Structures are given as C-alpha cells and as structure tokens.
Amino acid sequence: MNVQKIDYQAAIGLTIVREDDTIETIIARAGHYMFEAKKSPDQQVIGDYSELN
C-alpha cells in the first residue's frame, strides 16, 4: 500500500452573534478574524470570544 503524507494548515475566524447583527456583519467579522489568523505562520483560531468574560 502506498501512503502519501498530506500537510495542511487551518485558519479559523470565530465571532459572537450580537443583537444588532445582520448576516452580512456576522460574515464580515468572522472573515476579518479568519484573515488575521492566516497572517500567522502557526495554525490559529482567532475571534471576539474574549467578549464572553
């Protein structure tokens, strides 16, 4: 059996849905955090989840 190694990376943007959000603002904010995560050479999850505290 021929096994091939596959390398991958993940960049994930998370956001909290706010009362005044629209689908557009939710997607835009999550997209912003995803692109911030992509700037890093490490795999990361970035978001506004710090607002939960």
The reported pLDDT for the residue numbered 17 is 93
The reported pLDDT for the residue numbered 30 is 93
The reported pLDDT for the residue numbered 53 is 52
DSSP string of 1-53, one letter each residue = ----------EEEE-PPPTT--HHHHHHHHHHHHHHHHTSSS-EEEESGGGG-
**Boundaries of every domain in the chain:** 11-52
d(CA 52, CA 31): 19
Q: Along the chain (53 residues), what's the average pLDDT of each consecutive run of 10 residues?
A: 85 91 96 89 76 55
